[in-house]
């Protein structure tokens, strides 16, 4: 089907996320204003106004009542989802690169960049009650990261552990009881830009600048599958209903001006999760894809690109009819 | 001394009295002189072998002497002149110690002379001048003086020579015996770090040989595909046979260019760099590995400098100052009839691919018009000459079957001289078509007002294609040449994005390609029988197109020599269907292994063509079997992967189910495992929006 193109951002999309039910689609961009849309028809529900810098990361809790965003203005904000009102602002020493609610949404995590002589740090905060006082609240954990900075993050389904993806391709599993590292693997050769769970949080897919997306086991960070492309991969998502992985990326944004869209390869690519075989491509963006996400019902997916557009694609029936022989 | 010894002895005796008896016999000074009846069994050789080696021998001087026969016989008045000529030739090799010119009673030389060098090595070197042609009547026979001795001593009774142990030569043409006639290809990646030979089997190619650092730059197949040449700092190596064993090595430091003679008898190597002594062209005999002749580069240096006739009998180059054509003959490697062919102003030449005919062209010179001449060799017959006017440049294109010759003539309407530079304007182009197989070789002319981008003959057949026009109005035209007629235009395709033409080796099919950064990588597969465009596609930034020798497949490649990203090679069917995409980092070169021309007679080929229908089912069933085998393998592989994955996934899902209670606890006892699991908390909202239905007819 013809995709719905969401035109509301003035600059590159940085992240897109569905809420748990999939009726809402949140998007963040370098233009400072995260948006929320009805995923069904692409109508814009509203914007979250208040950030002074590029918004790098967003998350929505499981009840779709609170929305969190982290930005280049050295702050992390929590908003009321329904009204778009800012509930609290947490200031940090450098830009906020990743942010995430825990499974229960009783806690949240955000990480800051290594910049302006500030180290990369991971903060875990209590989000049971969020109001103006939350700004000054002490975090539950404050973990300085001495090595390469965190570039992506995941929270497990039991509020017990966190997995971080790093600039050098490393993945680290953290135990939140002790605040210690419990596992560490390095299967990527480049920055891990994005990590996304499968439906029941037993596996996750990583997207890396090393031109690959990889599937890992959540428990012991065991590498299960590799999806190879010829371009940096910025985002990857696992279908909740099929054994499919969608991978988005393309030539680095900084190199794009010197090359044509054809060289850039700004396509969403579909791989079979188990066979690692590519079986389809969706064209459309004219800049690299920065974020992809499957709708929780698996019947559509969206991609957000450096070109500032979010494209919502609903699958045709042929997508569901197509089967690999085995 | 003796006393001291005795002292020592007594000391030791004190130390150890047990030794007393042993020492008793050594009590006196030993006697070193031989007894009277002693015979020395050590030879002088053993004692002073190294000194004896340098002992002067009777034969010493003799080994440095050569005998030269075939020297002109001259009277006493010209003997000095002869000596200086001989000296000039032989003193090049080494210092001549003495020379002797035997004379008969009336003072005439006898036609043979003796020359002594300083060392036997020089003499051995001088023997290589054997068969040196001084002039028409005199060819030197150079021999070592010791050889005379050796041959003199040949026993009268003949003894059968010992049979040499048989050294099995590998079958160099084994690859042609493949029952499925799969072709081979070579792939080079990196800076020659990886060289792979593949067999293009169906449905997937199989690797035949995979070697690291096989070459240091690139590789080249010999024209019939027998040998693979690899480039090294010290020279060229040829590889052949089933395991690609080394066949020969040709030492030529810093060699950069090579050329095989068409029948694979000779190899030309050229090293254009380094000091002048090493800048040379060498010609080698491939079978023996011997150097045949060395040349200094002169005249135009467009490679190949030497061009071979189709039968390896002659090779030619343009002399310095473009004033002569130098034709050499094999196996003597001397100039044909000992003199070059004087053609002042010769610009370029080319051998016919099927006959010993050279086509060359001469530029305009004041009042003399430019001309194209066909020269028959070795008799130097001018079989055809055509004068041309207002010529800026010519390109000689022989058709592969030698039936036609096309000379593309760039002509001008105006010429200006500017600072030693000639500037032409009002350019247009003429194609002069020579009908080689007709009486007196009639010439037809086709004119084209537009700039020509490319020209190509159909290798077998009578068509030619050209790309003409200026971007963006690039057109492709096809002409046919018929007996006794001027070429007629068959088809013109307007507005095509291509700049190169690639005919299938057996004609009829052609690929129009846009190579390089401005070509865009467009590809068009055309059947010229009915001028049907079979497929229009592209391979972005493609730099190479190569037909396989059978004309069934086309390779398009992006070489990292040209572009840095997305390098690799794709293989298409002749109809333009993509078969394989192989993206490879640092892919550099792809070469199909050439095949010699078929041994089947024309009748036999016709018969096969006629009965093709009979063979179709055989091949098709074979292909199907291979295909089904491959897909079976793939399906088995997938099934195995899926099974393994399912086992893993099930174990994880079990763990997931086990922790459900804890998840419920975390989310206020709301079941969120499935989207519709928690039906109590869902508010239903009906959204209506206009859906436009569009029907688009896809053609």
The residues with which B430 forms a beta bridge, in sequence order, are B409, B447
Range with the poorest average pLDDT among B44-53, B582-591, B602-611: B44-53
Is it the case that residue B686 has pLDDT exceeding 80? no
Provide the number of CB pairs (under 8 Å) joining chain A to chain B.
Answer: 67
- Per the CB < 8 Å rule, is A217 touching B662? no
- Interval B201-252: pLDDT, tens: 888 888 888 888 888 888 999 999 899 999 988 889 999 888 888 888 898 8
Mean pLDDT of B523-539: 89
- Per the CB < 8 Å rule, is A104 touching B649? no
Residue A325: closest CA among A280, A272, A281: A272
Tell me phi and psi for residue B475, to 5 degrees: -120, 155
Here the tokens at position B590 are 């792809």
**pLDDT value of residue B677:** 64
The residues with which A281 forms a beta bridge, in sequence order, are A269
Mean pLDDT of B362-379: 86
**What are the respective helix, strand and coil percentages of chain B, to the nearest 5?**
20, 35, 45
Element (H, E) at A112: strand A107-112
- Whole-angstrom Cα distance, residue B338 to residue A254? 67
**pLDDT value of residue A255:** 61
Q: How far is A200 from chain B (nearest CA, A)?
A: 7
**A97 contacts A126 by C-beta, under 8 angstroms:** no
Is A255 in CB contact (< 8 Å) with chain B? no
Residue B467: closest CA among B524, B539, B423, B548: B524
**B333 contacts B340 by C-beta, under 8 angstroms:** no
Locus of tokens 């239903």 = B684
Contacts with B, A 51-90, CB within 8 Å:
62
Is A20 in CB contact (< 8 Å) with chain B? yes
Nearest to A103 among B649, B666, B675 (CB): B666
**pLDDT value of residue B57:** 65
Residues of chain A contacting residue B656, judged by C-beta atoms under 8 Å apart:
157, 200-202
Question: What topology is assigned to B60-152 in CATH?
Answer: Alpha-Beta Plaits (3.30.70)
Cα distances (Å, whole numbers) of residue B686 to A40, A276, B501: 11, 40, 62
Q: Where do the H-state alpha helices sit in A171-289? A: 253-256, 261-264
- Per the CB < 8 Å rule, is B673 touching A200? yes
**pLDDT value of residue A58:** 93
- Per the CB < 8 Å rule, is B663 touching A22? no
- Per the CB < 8 Å rule, is A21 touching B675? yes
Peptide bond into B203 cis (omega under 30): yes
**pLDDT value of residue B670:** 81
SS3 B657: helix
User: Looking at chain A, which residue has its C-alpha nearest residue B642?
Assistant: A274
Is it the case that residue A271 has pLDDT exceeding 50? yes
Range with the poorest average pLDDT among B83-92, B179-188, B648-657: B83-92
Range with the poorest average pLDDT among B8-17, B353-362, B446-455, B655-664: B8-17
Pairing between strand B532-538 and B544-547?
Answer: unpaired
SS3 B158: coil
Mean pLDDT of B461-481: 87
- Per the CB < 8 Å rule, is A202 touching B655? yes
**B253 contacts B233 by C-beta, under 8 angstroms:** yes
- Whole-angstrom Cα distance, residue A239 to residue A242? 5
Is it the case that residue B681 has pLDDT exceeding 70? no
**B392 contacts B412 by C-beta, under 8 angstroms:** yes
B689 pLDDT band, cuts 50/70/90, is low
- Whole-angstrom Cα distance, residue B316 to residue B283? 13
Give the CA-trace dihedral at B662, B668, B672, B678, to 10 degrees: 130
Average pLDDT score, chain B = 83
Residues of chain A contacting residue B565, judged by C-beta atoms under 8 Å apart:
230, 263
Is it the case that residue B402 has pLDDT exceeding 80? yes
For an interface test with A, the pick among B645, B678, B695 (most A C-beta atoms closer than 10 Å) comes out as B645
Instruction: Give the CATH H-level superfamily of domain A11-234.
Output: YVTN repeat-like/Quinoprotein amine dehydrogenase (2.130.10.10)
Domain boundaries, chain B: 60-152, 607-658
Q: For chain A, what is the largest distance between any 2 Cα atoms, rounded to a whole number of angstroms?
A: 58
- Interval A111-160: pLDDT, tens: 998 887 888 888 888 888 877 777 777 888 888 888 889 999 998 888 88
Is it the case that residue B579 has pLDDT exceeding 50? yes
**pLDDT value of residue B10:** 47
Comparing B27 with A217, the larger pLDDT belongs to A217
Share of chain B above pLDDT 90, in %: 12
- In this prediction the pTM is 0.70
ipTM tops 0.85: no
**pLDDT value of residue B510:** 93
Mean pLDDT of B510-529: 85
**pLDDT value of residue B28:** 62
- Interval A172-183: pLDDT, tens: 999 888 888 899
Is it the case that residue B616 has pLDDT exceeding 70? yes
- Per the CB < 8 Å rule, is A274 touching B642? yes
**pLDDT value of residue A261:** 53
Share of chain B above pLDDT 70, in %: 91
Mean pLDDT of B417-443: 82
Q: How far is A203 from chain B (nearest CA, A)?
A: 9
- Whole-angstrom Cα distance, residue B456 to residue B477? 11
Share of chain A above pLDDT 90, in %: 42
SS3 B649: helix
Mean pLDDT of A71-78: 91
Q: How far is A231 from chain B (nearest CA, A)?
A: 9
Mean pLDDT of A186-195: 91
- Per the CB < 8 Å rule, is B638 touching A40? no
- Whole-angstrom Cα distance, residue B547 to residue B458? 13
**B390 contacts B412 by C-beta, under 8 angstroms:** yes
Q: How far is B423 from chain A (nearest CA, A)?
A: 36
Q: How far is B418 from chain A (nearest CA, A)?
A: 39
**pLDDT value of residue A236:** 94
**pLDDT value of residue B222:** 92
Residues of chain A contacting residue B683, judged by C-beta atoms under 8 Å apart:
none
Locus of tokens 């043409």 = B173
Average pLDDT score, chain A = 88
The residues with which B141 forms a beta bridge, in sequence order, are B69
CB-CB neighbours of B129 under 10 Å: 16
Is it the case that residue B605 has pLDDT exceeding 90? no
What lies within 8 Å, CB to CB, of B152 at 6+ separation is none
């Amino acid at each position: 089907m013809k995709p719905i193109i969401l035109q509301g951002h003035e600059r590159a999309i940085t992240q897109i996320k569905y809420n748990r039910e999939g009726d809402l689609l949140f998007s963040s961009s370098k233009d400072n204003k995260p948006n929320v849309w009805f995923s069904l028809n692409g109508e814009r529900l509203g914007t979250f106004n208040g950030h002074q810098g590029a918004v790098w990361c967003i998350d929505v809790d499981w009840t779709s009542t609170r929305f969190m965003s982290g930005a280049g203005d050295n702050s992390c904000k929590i908003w009321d989802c329904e009204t778009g009102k800012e509930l609290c602002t947490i200031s940090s020493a450098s830009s906020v690169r990743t942010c995430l609610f825990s499974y229960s949404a009783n806690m949240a995590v955000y990480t800051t960049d290594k910049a302006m002589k500030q180290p990369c740090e991971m903060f875990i905060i209590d989000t049971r009650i969020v109001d103006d006082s939350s700004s000054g609240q002490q975090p539950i954990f404050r973990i300085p990261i001495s090595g390469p900075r965190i570039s992506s993050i995941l929270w497990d389904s039991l509020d017990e552990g966190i997995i971080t993806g790093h600039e050098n391709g490393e993945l680290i599993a953290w135990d939140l009881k002790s605040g210690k590292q419990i596992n560490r693997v390095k299967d990527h050769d480049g920055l891990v830009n994005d990590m996304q769970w499968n439906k029941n949080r037993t596996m996750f897919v990583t997207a890396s600048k090393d031109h690959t997306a990889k599937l890992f086991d959540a428990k012991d960070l065991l590498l299960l599958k590799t999806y190879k492309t010829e371009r940096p991969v910025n985002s990857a998502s696992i279908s909740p209903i099929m054994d499919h992985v969608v991978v988005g990326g393309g030539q680095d944004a900084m190199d794009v001006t010197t090359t044509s869209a054809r060289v850039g390869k700004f396509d969403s690519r579909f791989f079979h999760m188990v066979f690692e075989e590519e079986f389809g491509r969706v064209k459309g963006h004219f800049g690299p894809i920065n974020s992809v996400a499957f709708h929780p019902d698996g019947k559509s997916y969206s991609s957000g690109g450096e070109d500032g557009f979010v494209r919502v694609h609903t699958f045709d029936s042929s997508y569901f009819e197509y089967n690999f022989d085995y | 001394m003796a006393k001291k010894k005795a002292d020592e002895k007594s000391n030791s005796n004190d130390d150890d009295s047990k030794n007393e008896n042993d020492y008793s016999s050594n009590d006196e000074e030993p006697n070193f002189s031989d007894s009277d009846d002693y015979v020395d069994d050590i030879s002088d050789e053993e004692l002073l072998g190294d000194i004896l080696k340098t002992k002067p021998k009777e034969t010493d001087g003799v080994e440095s002497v050569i005998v030269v026969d075939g020297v002109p016989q001259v009277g006493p008045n010209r003997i000095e002149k002869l000596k200086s000529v001989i000296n000039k030739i032989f003193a090049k090799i080494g210092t001549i110690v003495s020379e002797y010119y035997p004379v008969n009673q009336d003072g005439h030389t006898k036609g043979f002379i003796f020359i002594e060098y300083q060392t036997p090595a020089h003499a051995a070197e001088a023997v290589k001048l054997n068969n040196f042609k001084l002039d028409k009547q005199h060819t030197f026979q150079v021999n070592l003086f010791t050889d005379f001795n050796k041959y003199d001593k040949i026993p009268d009774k003949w003894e059968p020579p010992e049979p040499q142990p048989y050294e099995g030569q590998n079958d160099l043409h084994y690859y042609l015996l493949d029952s499925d006639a799969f072709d081979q290809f070579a792939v080079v990646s990196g800076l020659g770090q990886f060289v792979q030979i593949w067999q293009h089997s169906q449905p997937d190619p199989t690797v035949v040989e995979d070697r690291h650092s096989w070459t240091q730059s690139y590789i080249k197949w010999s024209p019939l595909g027998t040998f693979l040449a690899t480039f090294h700092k010290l020279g060229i190596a040829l590889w052949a046979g089933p395991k690609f064993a080394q066949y020969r090595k040709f030492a030529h430091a810093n060699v950069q260019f090579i050329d095989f003679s068409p029948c694979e008898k000779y190899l030309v190597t050229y090293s254009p760099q380094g000091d002048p002594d090493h800048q040379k062209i060498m010609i080698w005999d491939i079978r023996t590995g011997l150097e045949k002749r060395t040349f200094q580069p002169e005249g135009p240096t467009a490679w190949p400098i030497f061009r071979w006739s189709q039968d390896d009998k002659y090779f030619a180059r343009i002399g310095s100052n473009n004033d002569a054509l130098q034709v050499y003959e094999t196996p003597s490697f001397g100039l044909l009839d000992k003199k070059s062919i004087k053609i002042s102003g010769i610009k370029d030449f080319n051998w016919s691919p099927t006959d010993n005919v050279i086509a060359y062209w001469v530029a305009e010179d004041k009042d003399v018009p430019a001309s194209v001449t066909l020269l028959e060799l070795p008799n130097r017959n001018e079989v055809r000459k055509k004068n041309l006017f207002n010529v800026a440049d010519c390109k000689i294109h022989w058709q592969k079957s030698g039936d036609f010759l096309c000379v593309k003539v760039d002509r001008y309407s105006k010429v200006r001289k500017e600072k030693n530079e000639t500037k032409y304007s009002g350019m247009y182009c003429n194609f002069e078509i020579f009908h080689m197989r007709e009486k007196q070789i009639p010439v037809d002319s086709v004119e084209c007002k537009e700039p020509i981008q490319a020209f190509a003959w159909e290798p077998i057949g009578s068509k030619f294609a050209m790309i003409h026009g200026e971007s963006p109005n690039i057109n492709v035209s096809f002409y046919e040449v018929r007996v006794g007629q001027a070429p007629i235009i068959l088809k013109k395709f307007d507005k095509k994005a291509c700049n190169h033409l690639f005919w299938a080796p057996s004609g009829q099919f052609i690929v129009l390609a846009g190579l390089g950064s401005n070509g865009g990588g467009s590809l068009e597969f055309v059947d010229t029988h009915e001028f049907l465009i079979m497929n229009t596609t592209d391979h972005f930034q493609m730099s190479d197109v190569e037909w396989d020798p059978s004309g069934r497949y086309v390779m398009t490649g992006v070489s990292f020599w040209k572009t840095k990203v997305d390098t690799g090679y794709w293989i298409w069917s002749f109809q333009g269907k993509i078969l394989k995409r192989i993206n490879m980092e640092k892919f550099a070169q792809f070469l199909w292994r050439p095949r010699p021309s078929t041994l089947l007679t024309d009748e036999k080929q016709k018969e096969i063509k006629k009965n093709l229908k009979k063979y179709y089912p055989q091949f098709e069933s074979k292909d199907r079997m291979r295909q089904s085998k491959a897909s079976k393998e793939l399906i088995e592989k997938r099934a195995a992967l899926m099974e393994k994955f399912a086992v893993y996934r099930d174990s994880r899902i079990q763990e997931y189910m086990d922790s459900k209670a804890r998840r419920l606890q975390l989310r206020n006892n709301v079941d969120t495992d499935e989207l519709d699991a928690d039906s109590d908390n869902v508010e239903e909202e009906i959204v209506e929006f206009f859906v436009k239905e569009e029907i688009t007819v896809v053609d």
